[in-house]
Amino acid sequence: RPCRTVLRPSRPHSAMLGRSLARAVRPRLSRGLATGETYDMVVIGGGPGGYPTAIKAGQLGMKVACIEMRGRLGGTCLNVGCIPSKALLHSSHLYEEAAKGWGPHGISADNVKMDLDKLMKHKAKTVTGLTGGIEGLFKKYKVDYFKGKGEITAPGSVAMHPMEGGPAQTLSTKNIVIATGSVPAGVPGATVTVDNDAKVIVDSTGCLDLEKIPEKLIVIGAGVIGLEMGSVWRRLGTEVTVVEYLDRITPGIDDEIAKKFKQILEKQGMKFKMGYAVKSATNEGGKGKLVMDPVGGGATETLEADVILSATGRVPYTEGLGAENVGVKLGARGMVEIDDHFATNVPGIYAIGDAVRGAMLAHKAEEEGIAIAEQLAGLGGHVNYDAIPGVIYTHPEVASVGKTEEQLKGEGVAYKVGTFPFMANSRARAMADADGLVKFLIQDGGAHDGMVLGIHIIASNAGEMIAEGVLAMEYGASAEDIGRTCHAHPTMSEAFKEAAMSAYGKPIHF
């Protein structure tokens, strides 16, 4: 067959050395210092960015401490975000399959019921087990864990304010890593007072802990969080209406994918009110009332529901951090400003994850945490931001990595498109789960002709399938490299191969 060349984009020298150096002899760093002596690193925040930073630093021989104010490790992601929401998403999908989705397979079930209390206990057990597991890893790698709030009082000094109260304990350290994460954002220009305890106007945290299945739910914001939470409750029987300011859902996702995704959600029963600006959301005697105006002009409209979910994104959490004590620069929305090596403007203070620029994703934060730990150990830590995947865990899932068509057009990049629908995939048809497609964007011409620039997937297992695309982009692969790689038959991943073939030539089955 024709000779193939893997086109690898150039990277900084330090980045190319990163992984090889990480396997080299580690420097000897302080270990087992007496109380009151200096740490090599203090990490403020024990979420998906902070705790991997601490673990990696411990693995590399550093004397490290991690401060977490929640009292449970894992941050928003593990406690009130990614993990509990995925537990609810999977359980609600199983319920809907049993109640409605087994018909094509000749299976019927009567009187299918959802025990919401038992479902919530499963969610809680999942969270508890995982948070305890991280504490075990801290002990394994000799990370000192402090339950409290960390405040930077001076370069090289962090005050740990204990959760239970009492005087602060001062930790001296050579390096400080800010990994304080993010919190739910408010609704711009609107009066929306979230009260999770009342369970009428809630944010994502409150929506995970509803005590009964609402008859009606209004979701403010057609982003990842809103659509995932909306999907959970819709499957359980709630009438869900999503109100969005823009004329499209999932901002930042490839436009073709977003349109197809919206069609699928509408077919499932989710309703959308696009192009509306929310003015207020209030609790009126235990019922939610939402007032909104059409963005293009027109009469004010009012919607009512049992629960209103505010899901307009997240903002960095830096309250009480002490940035002002040492002059750490904060940018828009409280975001900590950093350079390309995670350093703030104050020597010895670094920041990662949701507290800094870039996508607010747990795995992005983890990669940054590992990179800064390696850098401070004298190694070549590096994050390739062109190969950070994003996933929406609805059914079907939506996953992407790299550029969208809109971005490539805006940057003036010559590109070609290849797509393949799951309706033409044998495994998807056999499972009666054929909604969706795979879309490839590749370089058209030039020295890197054929190189993969972006991959976008709608599929029941898109979140797992995208890993092949991330690996391909990490190594600078061409679409032909993927198209000429044997994929097992019958699998959903054959659609991935055929979309690649479509980008540089023609697929076999479409």
List the structure tokens of 476: 């600078």
- DSSP-assigned states of every residue in 122-164: HHHHHHHHHHHHHHHHHHHTT-EEEEEEEEEEETTEEEEEETT
Do the beta carbons of residue 351 and residue 177 sit within 8 Å? yes
Is beta strand 64-68 parallel, antiparallel or unpaired with respect to 144-154?
parallel
C-alpha 63/C-alpha 142 separation (Å) is 8
DSSP class of residue 100 equals I
CA distances from 318 to 39, 346, 349 (A): 22, 16, 14
C-alpha 211/C-alpha 208 separation (Å) is 9
> Which contiguous run of DSSP H or E holds residue 368?
helix 362-376
Strand partners, 438: 420, 457
Do the beta carbons of residue 317 and residue 305 sit within 8 Å? no
Residue ranges of alpha helices (H) inside 377-478 are 405-411, 426-430, 462-474
Cα torsion through 11, 12, 14, 20, rounded to 10: 10
Q: If DSSP codes are grouped into helix, strand and coil, which group holds residue 444? A: coil
Please calculate the CA angle 97-434-390 and round it to the nearest 5 degrees: 90
C-alpha 198/C-alpha 284 separation (Å) is 11
- DSSP-assigned states of every residue in 492-503: THHHHHHHHHHH
C-alpha 62/C-alpha 141 separation (Å) is 10
Q: If DSSP codes are grouped into helix, strand and coil, which group holds residue 284? A: strand
Active-site choice (90, 161, 395, 489): 489
Active site residue 487: no
Do the beta carbons of residue 27 and residue 346 sit within 8 Å? no
Strand partners, 416: 442
DSSP class of residue 110 equals S
* Active-site annotation, residues: 489
